[in-house]
Amino acid sequence: MGSKTLINLVNFFIFNSEYGPREGEEEKKIMFYFPKDTDIDSKIKNVGLCEALIKFAETFSDKPCESLHTMKTRQLFLEAEKDFWVIMTVSIPVTEKVSKDGITYNEYHEEDVQDSVFEAVLRQSYRMFTLFNGTFTSILSRTDVNGLQQRLDHFFSRYLLTLKVEQSDILDVFNGIHFLPLDKNTYLRIQCFINQLEANFPTVKYTTFLYSDQLVWSGLEQDDMRIIYRYLTTSLFPNYMEQELHAAVGNSTKPAIPLLGVSAHYGKFITGPPNMKDTEKMGKIPRVYVNTERPNEDTLLLVYKALSASVCLFIRASNPPTFDLCQKLDTFLGPQLTALASDIGEQYSKRTGLGNLAEPQYRYIYFNHMNLAQKTTVHTDSKKSANIHIPPETLKLLGDINSDLTWNDENGETVMKTLTDCWVVGKKSDQREFYVVLNQKNANLIEINEEVKRLCATHFNSIFFLE
């Protein structure tokens, strides 16, 4: 018997039927198609099939077509903007088996691919594009169809290569934000620091403050912050850390320690000037489009880091940053951010140091739909979390419970016991969801219920109210 194959990205394409209405002009509908080396006849055929399915679904429902299930693939549909359809197809995992008669056959695992998960992945892909390019219609207002096609090709031909569809799970559905709880005095100091920053530098339109990949403060709308947070924590910060690590390995000399004094700091730009002594290099400053004050607001993203604290500065694109401005920002941000990061670090280490002496026999996910707050111990360092591992089957089970709770608008609770004797619990209450996997084989339902109540009281006191 062969091993089970992984979920793979089969294709990803964007089309608009308005651009090729006549026979023989079908190619004009296609805005982007991946893989690039697909022959034109296959592209036209796949787009045509999707058009037919969309039209067919319209005759039965007011809701647009969302997915197509076949034995070998799952196809997800998203009408991202009027008449612009984004389609993603993934493969169904398959295992090669041998029957009693010695005949080899394929067994497809359709249950491994969850619509809610891949719909979320598809939506994130579109949202990530709009973050760096604006909406399709806004691009067309600035350029023509060729300009849009070039933008789509430039972005998606790179982005799709980084997409790990086989690792997608319930956390993609939530796509939440990890917040860092702080005491009132520290939080007020950060708010005062941001107010002072925005008052001293009027070109800074919005600001966000993060510590160790957790959000402390944001001046952006929720949906903007959600996609910015994903970009920072899955792309910008990890890439920067990797570069720093390579630089440290390549440089055998000890890092310079700043002299004690008012101007001493560990601050540096992640996006923007890589070296404040080299006035010739401004570095790369990403252009991002936010929708906080108005749709498709054009800004430039300067990210500044000191120790584990990071500040994101959204600069008005109409007034791009100069090296002189960056020097002034460095002088202002460096010492203050270093001091704040050091103080937060003391609080953070005290809090994370407590209660971690023994690894708990459970894993949980908490998500709040109102503020997008997410807390989870599902994806943690496996070296530190050896006592309980969540297998893919259990993660899929969490996704199924989430789908059931989503269909039902009422508050609810689901408790299951897996074949491996793990207890899986899902709760929904007042826009909050809580999922826990307990590794207590000999426990009964009453004991599990009491344990979940205890966990809620311990970890989510005052934020999660359950009967």
Query: What pLDDT, in 10s, does the model give residues 53-91?
Result: 999 998 888 888 899 999 999 999 999 999 999 999 999
Cα separation of 77 and 463, whole Å?
35
Burial class (CB in 10 A: 0-12, 13-18, 19+), 109: middle
Number of CB atoms found within 10 A of residue 188's CB: 11
Task: Provide mean pLDDT across the span 265-289.
Answer: 92
189 within 8 A of 29, measured Cβ to Cβ: no
The confidence band for 385, taking pLDDT boundaries of 50, 70 and 90, is very low
CA 300/CA 287 separation, integer angstroms: 5
pLDDT at 421: 82
**pLDDT the model gives residue 382:** 40
Q: Return the closest-CA partner of residue 74 out of 5, 121, 161, 9.
A: 9
Please compute the mean of the pLDDT values over residues 381-399 and round it to a whole number.
68
Domains of the chain: 9-168 (3.30.450.70), 184-249+261-353 (3.30.450.30), 362-459 (3.30.450)
pLDDT at 465: 42
Query: pLDDT tens digits, residue range 201-236?
Result: 999 999 999 999 999 999 999 999 999 999 999 999
DSSP 38: S
Measured from the Cβ of residue 418, the count of other Cβ atoms closer than 10 Å reads 13
Q: Which residue matches tokens 């196809």?
A: 75
Confidence of residue 453 (pLDDT cuts 50, 70, 90): confident
SS3 state of residue 20: coil
Lowest-confidence segment of 337-341, 366-370, 401-405, 451-455 by average pLDDT: 451-455
Cα 80 to its chain centre, rounded Å, is 18
What's the Cα-to-Cα distance from 247 to each of 168, 252, 307, rounded to whole Å? 31, 9, 17
Residue 149 — φ and ψ, nearest 5°?
Answer: -60, -40
- Which of 135-149, 269-283, 338-352, 365-379 is least confident? 338-352
Query: What pLDDT shows up at residue 444?
Result: 86
pLDDT at 185 over 60: yes
Q: Please state, in angstroms and rounded to a whole number, the distance separating the CA atoms of residues 229 and 171.
A: 14
Other CB atoms within a 10 A radius of the CB of residue 32 amount to 22
* Cα(298)–Cα(315) distance, integer angstroms: 9
